[in-house]
Amino acid sequence: MSVRNNAAIAGLGITPMGKIFGRSSVDFAAEAIQIALEDAGLDKSELDGLLVNQGPTAPNPLILQGGGGIGLQPYLGIPELRLNLNMQGGGATAGQMVHFAAMAVQEGLASVVACVFADAPLREGAGAGAAYGGAGRVNLSTAHGKFGALSDYAMAAQRHMHQYGTKHEHFGAVAVSQRKWANMNPRAQMREKLLSLEDYLSSRWIVEPFRLFDCCLVSNGGVAVIVTSAERARNLRKPPIYIHGLGQAHFGHASVEDAPSIDETPIKSAGKAALEMAGLKINDIDVAEVYDCFTYTVMIQLEDLGLCGRGEGGAFVEDGKTAPGGSIPVNTGGGSLSSYYMWGMTPLSEGIIQARGEAEDRQVKEKPMVLVTTEGGQPWAYGAVTILSAEKP
């Protein structure tokens, strides 16, 4: 039996998000799992699988003395698990965890699996820019002024501009569109703050061609998802969200200099695989929740998914196709740019909310077919695509 007929998402847990100080990553992780279990109508004693994606600044309480999610298990007070694993593919891990959990449920390795991400990089009195500063990591690249993912993605964006004529206004269109969605999202960190293209263009440079509003937020918090069998999910508190399609692709390089291409992402192959498993074409998708550490990453993934041609991402977003009222709504909660940054759990959580029909003012349609991308590593190292719907396969 295929995963698409046998596994479903039954619970979603989202903690308070943003400048929430004085709490550890493990505390956020435990709360997110408890909220997800309550959302599904399950007791903690029924949880027998745990998949943990540890945030980049999470201190060792998430793992304590050993590897994987071992430290989180005693914190939760669970004496025995059948499945317990730490997974790390950067921002792609949320999708990878759901895929692994679905296969584990299908094969009987576990019956109720929690997939969780948590991090607490923000510190009271310190700026958000210090959260992922990478202090102390020095190598040949940093010696020449190149630090972390920001500069790598900036190089890839510059290449797109050079090759296809992409403009700053195109990046701005992504930021403005997603802020409009965030203005309708009660959970969004930037819900009360409007953003115009003029605001975007007048914001300060971070690393050219990225301005302030090209870059994702920094958030403290946690998100958890409960995966179980489709049969069991149908008898729980919330209607099941069926997993229609799964796809992964990984380039595996360590830096942008080693990337096989900065003009194509693993999402191209992963999206094709997920659509084939679901028996769908890209035009069958009603809403896309796309990993958005930067505005540029949204554009190139839309190209790789086949929603527009190579190099046409800028024009595609500029005319409002992805904004409220557009033909293909994208990042309907505001995404990591304007809602909250929980790595790949940001697009996954909003995808579940849309699939459930719980998005209120920003709901795109009843029972939409939702495509979620999660991507990680120094540009385009890892990618996963998941297709979800409340409609049974």
Taking residues 314-325, report their average pLDDT: 97
Instruction: Report helix, strand or coil for 258.
Output: helix
pLDDT digits (tens, 9 = 90+) for 333-366: 999 999 999 999 999 999 999 999 999 999 999 9
Return the pLDDT at 143. 45
Active-site residues, by number, are 291, 341
pLDDT in tens, 153-178: 998 999 999 999 999 999 999 999 99
What's the pLDDT tens digit per position in 191-206?
Answer: 999 999 999 999 999 9
Domain boundaries, the chain: 3-122+218-233, 147-217+244-393
- Could you please state the CATH topology (level 3) that the domain comprising 147-217+244-393 is classified under: Peroxisomal Thiolase; Chain A, domain 1 (3.40.47)
- SS3 label, residue 121: coil
> Pick the residue with more confidence: 6 or 262?
6
Rounded mean pLDDT, 311-320: 96
3-122+218-233 with 147-217+244-393: one CATH topology? Answer: yes
Instruction: With residue 205 as reference, give the H or E element that holds it.
Output: strand 205-207
Q: What fold, for 3-122+218-233? A: Peroxisomal Thiolase; Chain A, domain 1 (3.40.47)
Does residue 230 have a pLDDT over 90?
yes
pTM of the model: 0.94
Q: Per-residue confidence at 267, pLDDT binned at 50, 70, 90?
A: very high
CB 11 within 8 A of CB 40: yes
**Helices marked H in 257-318 — which ranges?**
267-278, 295-304, 313-318
Average pLDDT over residues 278-291: 98
Residue 205's DSSP bridge partners are 211
Q: Is the pLDDT of residue 210 over 90?
A: yes
pLDDT at 58: 67
Triad 114, 241, 88: Cα angle to 5°: 35
pLDDT score for 358? 98
